[in-house]
Structure 1
Amino acid sequence: MSLLKTIEDLKKKSQIKSTIKEKISEFESFKNKKINEIFKELCFCIMTANCAAEKCIQIHGEIGNDFLTLNEIQLIKKFKELGYRFPNVRAKYILKAREKISDLQRVLNNYNNHDLRIWISESILGLGFKEASHFLRNIGYKEYAIIDFHIVDILKKYNLIEKPKTMSKKKYLEIEYILKEIANKLDLNLAELDLYLWYLETGKILR
């Protein structure tokens, strides 16, 4: 069975379709939220690289507004208490990102989609193209693919790509183009497609 047919079949399942619709609405709600809420979502996306999503969701919820106030030593301590995998380096990244809250707000208000992702991936320590795309998707943007090993494995399984040895920016954009083509054929945006692909690979719909 082709990937297109597999996802078409998933789209017919009302529970999956409605859960994905709710999740997209949750992401879109960030368009009306203040910059501190958006920054907390940025913290979540800094946390999730190479970490289990469900564990990160739990820890992120426990820390909550403290992401806005804790110093680096306090955040490291909190991460360790909660069993987070990379307490030292990610606390550093988050504190560095907090210094750029005003810049982030300006960029979100003024940059086009292309420049926005580039700025985030180049300006926020700890975020590459994948994490920048994840953050933007989670605050309501629908034009970016989140290409992690789950997505690569699915595309390879269906013979749509060869598994890359490394994920350069050029390779990322090539795979993103393939995903855009798939999304267009399915009448989905990339944010929706990502959630269907994640469900296909993991049986879960997370953020």
Structure 2
Amino acid sequence: MNQKVLIDAMNKAGIIPVFNHKDVEATIKVMKVCHQAGLNVFEFTNRGDHSLSVFKELKKASAHWEDFYLGIGTIFFKEQAADFIEAGADFLVSPVWDLELAEYAKSQKITWIPGIGTVSEAFQAFKFGIPLIKVFPANVLGPEFVASVKSVIPDLLVMPTGGVHPEEGNLKTWFDAGVHCVGMGSQLFSKVLIQEKQFEKLGDNINQASGILNRFRNSSVK
């Protein structure tokens, strides 16, 4: 996959859904409503023994979707990465910086987005040639950390994940700090709506969040 195409798609979407569930049918429906809302980059997470089998079903369900990218998060070891690369992952995401993973992803020619918690780690990623980092946990580090990283490494793209909210004030604060996109999990997906199979309502909420982001991004361009 062309890395630039993926990175550009993440910026265009603005919000990267981060999700995990044991129920294949429910997960496919969640992925579909995200796709319908224009969020064409989806991160499923490797949390539990079910993750690989569910991921394979997601890959099948989205195989015919044009310009849609399905990645896997919560990757710590290259053995995990290998399993999901074989299953068709378009990109890898980790909550940590790890040189072995960085080298493995490079050898496999797959985009790896490492989790970063310090400026030193951000610089290590930049020096390695990684274009996009995940600031995690974002609710602890905050937009000020992103702005500080961007002030000294302006060419490094940033995606905060953890504690990002789908409200205009919160989203605007992050984008004003210079983020490329944001990862959003539990704040985007209502457990109650998923349990009650209210996927249309879930889609409305996702559309609303995407609309909020697009409105203030478009107004800032003007």
- The structure with the largest helix share of the pair is 1
Q: Same fold (TM over 0.5)?
A: no
Question: What TM-score, normalized to structure 1?
Answer: 0.29
The structure number with the bigger radius of gyration is 1
